[in-house]
Amino acid sequence: MTDQSIVVSLLLGVLEGLTEFIPVSSTGHLLLAGHFLGFQSAGKTFEVVIQFGSILALITVYAAKLWQVFSTAHKDPQSRRFIYSVTIAFLPAVVIGVLAHDFIKKVLFETPMLIAVMLVLGGVVLLVVDRLPLKPRMHDATRFPLGTSLAIGFAQTLAMVPGVSRSGATIVAAMFLGADKRSAAEFSFFLSIPTMLGAFVYDLYKSWDILDASAMNEIAIGFVAAFISGVIVVKWVLGYISRHGYALFGWWRIIIGGAALVGLWLG
């Protein structure tokens, strides 16, 4: 493992942590950054596995809330219902993720032009949605109806196209279904835990044979960097979204995606 690969792994880990919980597509950012930096991970496993560092950060920040839900589930119908809600929302990603895994990793992950276009289009969607006069009727992420949760889960599967953004797809869907901006983002946070844990385990299982010591070291560095930066971001993002909405992230996507398109066209 060279000094350069250590620095690149560290930078990509920080980038993952900074972008996982905002609707800008962390995977899209990682793949584009890796493309322009000349970073090639074995089976594109690095880009998937280090995302669990961010999810571990989320679990750390929400440890008290998660403990309250799971420790009272045996006697509190509301806690059980929230667990069912997140589980139902998670199921579409399980089915489609397993069936389309090879196509996603070998085709979609290897198409930087598609990723850049999705970033731009997703940015436009965020800007439009942020300006729509939506009238939210749901303000608590733990009380979404089960049908709403399932619909959000199907929206999450769109993010298997890198550049779409898992959080972006679930947040926009939740808002259209009647959630306010904060509860939409918070439900997206909770849904990310089983989704990314599943992706983490399944991708390691599929790619274990091609990971050598150097690849594992790169993953470890990226994982730790994603965890640290993820803790910082997840504490900040809900407050920002509640006050300012999603326009900043829409413009961010358009600028990054546009710059990537220019870079790709220039070779």
- Residue range 11-33, pLDDT digits in tens: 999 999 999 889 999 989 999 99
pLDDT tens figures, 118-167: 999 999 999 999 899 999 999 999 999 999 999 999 999 999 999 999 99
Ranges 132-141, 187-196, 231-240: which has the least confidence? 231-240
Do 2 and 214 form a contact (C-beta atoms < 8 A)?
no
Longest Cα separation, the chain = 61
Write out the residue range of the structural domain in which residue 90 sits. 3-36+43-265
CA-wise closest residue to 45 among 98, 104, 90: 104
DSSP H helices in 23-100: 26-37, 45-49, 51-61, 63-72, 77-99
Q: Does residue 202 carry a pLDDT above 70?
A: yes
Rounded distance between C-alpha atoms, residue 142 and residue 128, angstroms: 27
State the burial class of residue 265 (Cβ atoms within 10 Å of its Cβ: 0-12, 13-18, 19+): exposed
- Asked whether the predicted pLDDT for residue 243 surpasses 70, the reply is yes
Q: Please give the mean pLDDT across all residues of the chain.
A: 91
Q: How far apart are CA 130 and CA 146, in angstroms?
A: 25
Q: Mind listing the pLDDT tens digit for each residue in 59-98?
A: 998 999 999 999 999 999 999 999 999 999 999 999 998 8
CA–CA dist 172, 170 (Å, integer) = 6
pLDDT for the residue 120: 97
pLDDT(3) > 90: no
> How is residue 107 written in tokens?
């085709």
Report d(CA 141, CA 4) in Å as an integer. 42
Confidence category of residue 43, pLDDT binned at 50, 70, 90: low
For Cα atoms 117, 206, 193, give the angle at the middle one, nearest 5 degrees.
65
Instruction: Specify the pLDDT at position 1.
Output: 65
> How many domains does the chain divide into?
1
- The closest alpha carbon to 171, from 134, 199, 207, 205, belongs to 134
pLDDT reported for residue 161: 93
* Rounded Cα–Cα distance for residues 106 and 122 (Å): 23
